[in-house]
Structure 1
């Protein structure tokens, strides 16, 4: 990591092609979210060192009710965030803060942001907590599958986005017939298993007049249920420097 002042980091909108290339190189999953619509690049000098991509949630109907009175296009999901090793650790929370300010200025219809931390592969959301997000849900992983060959893929990618190359590759390799339904059973029968771990749901209210319809969980709750995760490993939050 470079010894730089985080105030020297510039955050600006970038094109999807540049964002996609960076995310494929630096995100732990190596995958992009195809419906991302808004991409921000984090620069030091002229070099790109981080990308944050926003877009509609995959199934908006399941999350729109988390904030009372939300219109169909009044929230957005931070669905990919990737940084290289150049910037200091606290650069991530600063970049999120700048992105929020830019969204508030240029997309005033957006009232709140949702994002999910994946403890099965990454962590329990340290960056979100440092950025003022509220923890609103902790659940055991029921979304990410691992296959005998080591492939990892979201169940929704297999069932809802059947035409994605990654989904087609899994079906071809394990001789799974695509039915066009949301059934996960054929993938489990082919040897897929849910990866042990937790998923963490965070919400940031841009419009402070908005009201959550679900309780805000104290961050201590993560350790109370033994859900602390760091890079896919069980590590209590209290044992880490936030």
Structure 2
């Protein structure tokens, strides 16, 4: 089914409520520039998408393309649709968002995103829209005894308690011994990079740097669990959930309030 989606910037609270209803993770990135609502022909809100950057905007883009800077790209933070929409709707939503960027953010050359392999996502929607693939890398997250997924940057209070436990002044990573006492695990999994060029110059840049369509599939997903410092074993896909979020509670409630 073909749609003629409309894209508008919407109040943050409206988007947050939609995302926390339909997205697998209610946790939001902090550096969001645009809060976009996607509407069908009857002006029903059927999808939402945020544009901004990750935790290290400049480092992210210059690690991939040293000649570029933060102003040259936007990153998809959150993207989801009403679950009742047909299967190909997200691809059409991306098309509408790209058109919006080209009209209202002509200064941007690249649209960047990552598929969260830790959550079992390889990026099929980006593949269907012909994003270019830029490889994968392992990243670490933590998992509480209730299944809550915790980003390392959200571990501040836990690290304070961990340092006391170990008799240290400060720690940058939770220790296996302390995690065992609180029922937390350190999980390592893949993230998959995707980039969409918004002009001819960007298209050439991706081609010259070997961004391609050799897309990953589900067989490429991998997970490892830390046993002790420096030692991991391969495991099946972890069953993350946010039903009883505690570590991320402040982030979730703060975005709803604001």
Q: Going by fraction, where is helix more abundant, 1 or 2?
A: 2
Deviation for aligned residue 1:6: 3.0
TM-score, normalised on structure 2?
Answer: 0.71
2:38 corresponds to 1:39: no
**Deviation string, structure 1 residues 118-142 (Cα, Å, up to 9, x no partner):** 12214100001111211102123x2
- Secondary structure of 1:37's match? strand
Deviation for aligned residue 1:78: 0.4
CA RMSD after TM alignment: 3.1
Deviation for aligned residue 1:26: 1.2
Structure 2 gaps of 5+ residues are 223-235, 239-258
For 1:114, the equivalent position in structure 2 comes to 112
Contact conserved, 1:115 with 1:203, CA < 8 A, in 2? yes
For 1:219, the equivalent position in structure 2 comes to 214
For 1:240, the equivalent position in structure 2 comes to none
For 2:252, the equivalent position in structure 1 comes to none
**Deviation string, structure 1 residues 31-80 (Cα, Å, up to 9, x no partner):** 22232120221223232121110112211233222235323312111011
TM-score, normalised on structure 1?
Answer: 0.75
Q: How far apart, CA to CA, are the structure 1 residues paired with 2:99 and 2:36?
A: 12
For 1:62, the equivalent position in structure 2 comes to 59
For 1:195, the equivalent position in structure 2 comes to 187
Deviation for aligned residue 1:216: 2.1
For 2:135, the equivalent position in structure 1 comes to 137
Task: Give the 3 Å change call, closer, same or farther, for CA 39–7 of structure 1 in structure 2.
Answer: same
- Secondary structure of 2:47's match? strand
For 1:149, the equivalent position in structure 2 comes to 146
Q: How far apart, CA to CA, are the structure 1 residues paired with 2:237 and 2:125?
A: 17
Task: Give the 3 Å change call, closer, same or farther, for CA 226–85 of structure 1 in structure 2.
Answer: closer
Deviation for aligned residue 1:153: 1.3
Q: How far apart, CA to CA, are the structure 2 residues paired with 1:43 and 1:51?
A: 9
- Secondary structure of 1:185's match? coil
Contact conserved, 2:22 with 2:83, CA < 8 A, in 1? no
Task: Give the 3 Å change call, closer, same or farther, for CA 80–68 of structure 1 in structure 2.
Answer: same
Task: Give the 3 Å change call, closer, same or farther, for CA 151–106 of structure 1 in structure 2.
Answer: same
Deviation for aligned residue 1:217: 4.7
Q: How far apart, CA to CA, are the structure 2 residues paired with 1:124 and 1:152?
A: 18
Q: How many residues align?
A: 214
More divergent stretch after superposition (71-80 vs 189-198): 189-198
Q: How far apart, CA to CA, are the structure 1 residues paired with 2:78 and 2:119?
A: 14
For 2:83, the equivalent position in structure 1 comes to 85
For 2:10, the equivalent position in structure 1 comes to 14
